[in-house]
Structure formats: structure tokens, C-alpha cells
Structure 1
């Protein structure tokens, strides 16, 4: 299938796809792409995405594992027997994800914030709020209060996902799929290891497990704030087109 075969595609969107995928009008698939791996692994904005993705995955998986165990051991509250409460974090994420995406688009399109500012604000504020909620959950002596804090901490991951999952497209649209695979590799490895990390530290008490999750979130917030970018990188220029030979194309497009 070709983009031009879509009856609903706009001229602007078709031009955007051709520019970034290096497809000509008669091409059914993109031409061979040489991926600049040396630029990938030395780019701090790329590593900022990797850190955000990895720490989000680790925090989410860890809290999903810890929450029912902690509620059971501390309050004798069997969360896994109450299906609705167990699903609350996922329901909250399902509600907040489109809200976060719409809000991010509005902030950018209205020029309230730049793309970089939107990504940094969403991710860093989410990580900091999550760290505070996890700390409160650890120190509260209330079943309901602890449950609310943990559910909110999990649900707010939607704002982080709405930022870093599209950040690849911001910095290198034509390499976004490869960069997503790159960051997801690290994220999946740490998420896979999180149960073993929890089991190791839980022997010394719940506080260490919670403090590690908090530290991971705070580290990710600091790293992302320092190195993230929402601007197209110099090593990912728009693909040359016939029009670009006589006309200088804008570096960024508003079409998504």
C-alpha cells in the first residue's frame, strides 16, 4: 500500500511522509536507509529517551508487583481478590493517556510551550509527583490513603508515556522506529529484572524497595531535564526531494 492510495490523506501529510521516509511518488516502500548508529549512541537526547523509557517501565512493573504484596503484608488487604481495585491503575491510564496527548498537542500548537518544554515538563513533573506519592504510600498508616497514592502513581505514568513515546519522532522522524526499538530494549531488560531486584531487597524491609523506585524516578527526572530535546537533530535531516533543490524546506512540520 502507498500513502497516496489513501483517499483521506491530505497533501501536507503526504508531502511529510515522502520527505521523511524518502519515498518518491512511484515508490511503494522506502529506499534503503543507512542508520547512523554512531550518532545514535553518542546522542544525549537519545539517551534521555532511553532513560525515561527504562525508568518508566521499571517503576511501573515494580509498583504493579509491589502493590498487592505490600497491601497484603502491611494491612492484610488482599488486593488481588478485588478485581475492580486491581484494575484501577490501568483504567486511570486509559483515561489519562488521551488527555495527556491532547494537552501536549494543544500546548505545542498554541505555542504556549515549545516541543522540548512540553516533553520535559510532562516527564519530569510526572516522575517527581510519582516519587512523592510513593513516599507518601510508604509512610501513611491508612489503607485507603496508601491505595490511592499507589493507584495515582501508576496511573500518572500516562503523562510520561505521552511524552517519551513520541520523542523519537521529534528528534529523528525517519529513524523513530529504530530508536523506539533501541530504547525499548533497555526498558524491557530492566523490567524483566525488576522482580529479582524486588525479591533481593525485600528481605531487608519494604522501605528499601520503595526507596529504590523513588530513586529511579528522581534520577530519570534529572537526566531527562538535563539532556532531552524536542528538536530535530542535525544527524536526522529531512530526506532530499526535488522541491528541496530549489526551495529550502522548514526543518519541522506541524503535521502529525
Structure 2
């Protein structure tokens, strides 16, 4: 990753923050270099009003960033279907019951934000330091927006990020048995080639981050740590995690939620 990535600033005022981030991630800082004018490295993290991952070169796709305030997150928060969404059903959410969730493979935090917006307290784990930096930036902007938006304030309070470098497997193994109401897993699945359903910028993101080849090792520690259930999000035709059949599955057009139950959720 070090050979593929560097840090830049969108303007001179962001240079101190860019250089600080470069030190934290042990990456080169290219000062205010414009991503579209670079031939190498393949990606830069650009520090500006928001932190964003940019592919370099003239024909590069758009940037990848975490946005919990506007865009898709805002639309889904307002019009996404509330408790009727499959993810809400998968974690067992119902009126009067909003289980705490550990999202052990948070990625860009989209599902974590949905669950937090529906009332669950969500703790995100993300082992990739670049993705974790994007999440941290998104959370900071959410918290700033929440100071003036009464609808965002409770969501910001319910959404948190683990700052340590520990892997999800080790973190889960360190938890007391049955101490987490719900563990949620959405490991990065290998791309199936050029799919029209995968935006170019997300394809570039997957290229940098890679797939979670060790994802099968997450299931047992998740099952040991959870109290009610472990929920695994999978592509619709993907094999079950660790080859273990779930108690039940909720299928959609392109994906499914495999649910491994332990104790029944309150009725």
C-alpha cells in the first residue's frame, strides 16, 4: 500500500493537516500536487474540507470519501424505509428494541450509519488505516453538522469508531462471552470482474483495499462474543461464511443477510 499511496493537500491552508496525516500513516506528502496531474503513485489521500481517496491520472474516476451528512446517507435516512429495511430486520430491530451493534468490518460506514439512524448504538471496527482515516473524517464532519442539526445530533452520539490497530478477530476474541448484543459482518468480497453495478470509483477503492481473504476466521469469535445474533452480509450467490449454514437468511436482489442466532430477541 505504501508504494501505491501518498498524501496531498487541496490547498496550502491544508498542508499542516496533510503533513500530520502523512506522519501518522507513514506515507509521503506531495504537498499540493493535483491528483489528475500525477502519474504515480496510483492513489493519493487528499486533505481538504473533507478527506478523500483519489486515483491519479487524467482519466481517473471520482474520489471516495465518507459522507454521513448529505448525499446517499441523507436520502436513505429520510426515505430508506425505516425499520422495514432488511438490515433492520436482520439485526432484530423492532419498536422498543434497538440492540447495540459492533460493525466489525465497517468499510465506509454506510450500514453502520443506517443502523445508528434507526436507533442502534454502533461501534465500528476497521483494520485498514486508510479506510479508518476516511471514517474518522466522516465522523468529525457528522459531529460538526450535528451541532446545528437536531436530527443528526442523536445519530452522531450513537456512532463510534475503534481507534486501535487491532484486527476485528483479535478485538472480538478479547471481549467477554455474549457481551455484545449483535455483531455485524460485511467482509470485502472479491470482485467478480467488471460489473456494471460497481461504480468506477468504488472499483478503484477495492483495488487499493483488497478483499478480506481471512474473513472466515471472523465468524467463530463473533458468535462467541454476541448475545442475540451475528449477522453476515453477503453477495446473493456467495458461499456462507466459513461454510457454516445460518439459522435463516434474508435475500434481496443482489445480496443477502445470513443470521446466526443465539438467544431470542425481545418480542
TM-score w.r.t. the length of structure 2 is 0.23
Relative contact order (alpha carbons < 8 A, sep ≥ 6): 1 or 2 greater?
1
User: Which structure carries more strand by proportion?
Assistant: 2
User: Which structure carries more helix by proportion?
Assistant: 1
Q: Which of the pair has more CA radius of gyration?
A: 1
